Chain A
Amino acid sequence: MSYIFTVSPDFSPDHISGWYIFNTWLQKHTDLAIHLEMYNNFHSQRSAIQNDSIDLIYANPYDAAILVRDKGFRPLTKPRGCCDEVIVATSINSPVQDIANLQPGIKVATTEDPDVNMIGMIMLESADLNAANIELKTSDSYVLVAKHLLRDDSDVGFFLAEAFDDLSTLIKNQLRILVRSQISVIHHSLMLGPKLADQHDLISRLLLDMDADEKNREVLSSLGFTGWDKVEDEEMEFMIDLMDTLKV
């Protein structure tokens, strides 16, 4: 029997090969046939989740509620020290110096990344901005979000903080950070579906021990991680509750 593993489509393009290396590592250490299926966007990945096609997922926190509460997934691990924080930025040439200066009707450059968009919108709320009085311009990548700002065809952009920090210095020097979130408790997680439930303890142990071995650390490095930290069921429930409060 073959199992399907997928990765949240907002992963950094630099790490695509890393996920294939990780999947090979996982198969070797679990003796399970696991196929890595990369979806181009959140819409197609959610369809696969709804159709019960996914058995293992590196999930965006926005999808955690569906996975845990509707589909019976359990959390395994999260990348060490990585939280999903968001930056709202503008062009260095923009007169806007503060979120409070933003006015209704602004154009907001963004990606499809659902938790980034949610947190970004929350940070605009204090300026009385909401989905009804702004214009969203959705791009395929954070580099394109930055380009929208540099070309002056968007007023602000939403970035995953990690992606912003990975932009070239040349681009970053032409952008101004208006606000960087400091939430600390929202993160992507590796989660296991019901068909693999009996493998939970084995896979969890393998992942948590990964950073103890030099070769395994290279696999982690290809993902941009230094190690995995355990995610308890209640910690995941807490994050889902938190996301629910933020979706209001």
Chain B
Amino acid sequence: MIQDMKPENIVGEFKEIILNLYGGFSRKIYYSELETPYPDGKLIVSTTDPAGVITHVNQAFIDMSGYTEDELIGAPHSILRHPDMPPAAFKELWDTVQKGEKWQGFVKNLRKDGGYYWVKATVIPNIRNGITVGYTSVRRKPSKAKVDECIKLYPTLF
């Protein structure tokens, strides 16, 4: 289950929307135009179970998302879902990793404070003895040129 965002956590002016998330959930989102730049040299790492529920996060994930570790563990990974991300991108992600393949793409993630950060994300299935036991996702700093391409492309995919 995933909780609605809280207006008191949001920094600056914000908009409101209800997002329908993977797994049949919906969530009230508050989002602003405040960007947090991706820090040089860091990798954001997380693992999920096969249903996309977070089982591990590293410190960079905590720092960039604005959530505490307790808030993240057990939450669906879509807690980061930003309304500017087209659903088609996540459908492609799930279709790819459920086939046992790697997925890579550029993602605008939503912070707890309503701001956002861009990442280059790679997701791979964790296969143990032939069975997918979860997924590992690693996010790195994206190039500005690629982000600019996505800013133009993604609105056309809704």
A and B: interacting chains:
yes
Q: How far is the CA of A237 from the CA of B141 in the complex (A)?
A: 24
Q: A179, A237, A241, A248: which contacts B41 (Cβ < 8 A)?
A: A179
Contact B40 A179 (CB under 8 A): yes
B146 contacts A by Cβ under 8 Å: yes
A100 contacts B by Cβ under 8 Å: yes
A127 contacts B by Cβ under 8 Å: yes
Q: How far is the CA of A79 from the CA of B124 in the complex (A)?
A: 28
Contact A237 B126 (CB under 8 A): yes
- Could you say which residues of chain B place their CB within 8 Å of the CB of A123? 40-41, 141
Contact A248 B102 (CB under 8 A): yes
Within 8 A of B (CB), among A161-213: 178-185
- Could you say which residues of chain B place their CB within 8 Å of the CB of A238? 47, 126, 136
Within 8 A of A (CB), among B61-90: none
Contact A245 B123 (CB under 8 A): yes
Number of A-B contacts (CB under 8 A): 65
Given A126-B40, A126-B141, A241-B104 contact (CB < 8 Å):
no
B43 contacts A by Cβ under 8 Å: yes
Contact B143 A127 (CB under 8 A): yes
Given A182-B42, A244-B124, A122-B140 contact (CB < 8 Å):
yes
Nearest A-chain residue to B102, judged by Cβ: A248
Q: B40, B60, B128, B138: which contacts A245 (Cβ < 8 A)?
A: B138
Contact B123 A182 (CB under 8 A): no
**Nearest CB on B from A182, distance (A):** 5
Contact A248 B104 (CB under 8 A): yes
B152 contacts A by Cβ under 8 Å: no
Binary contact track B122-150/A, C-beta < 8 Å → 1, others 0: 11101010000000111011111110000
Within 8 A of B (CB), among A105-150: 122-123, 125-128
Contact A242 B41 (CB under 8 A): no
- Could you say which residues of chain A place their CB within 8 Å of the CB of B102? 244-245, 248
Nearest A-chain residue to B42, judged by Cβ: A182
Residues of B within 8 A of A (CB): 38, 40-43, 45, 47, 58-60, 102, 104, 120, 122-124, 126, 128, 136-138, 140-146
Known contacts A126-B141, A245-B102, then 12 further A-B pairs from the complex at CB < 8 Å, ordered by chain A residue: A123-B40, A128-B143, A179-B41, A181-B43, A183-B42, A184-B58, A185-B45, A241-B124, A242-B136, A245-B138, A246-B43, A246-B122
* A-B contacts, 9 listed (Cβ < 8 Å): A123-B40, A123-B41, A178-B40, A242-B45, A242-B136, A245-B122, A245-B124, A245-B138, A248-B124
Closest 6 pairs (CB-CB, A-B): A126-B141, A245-B138, A245-B122, A179-B40, A241-B136, A128-B143
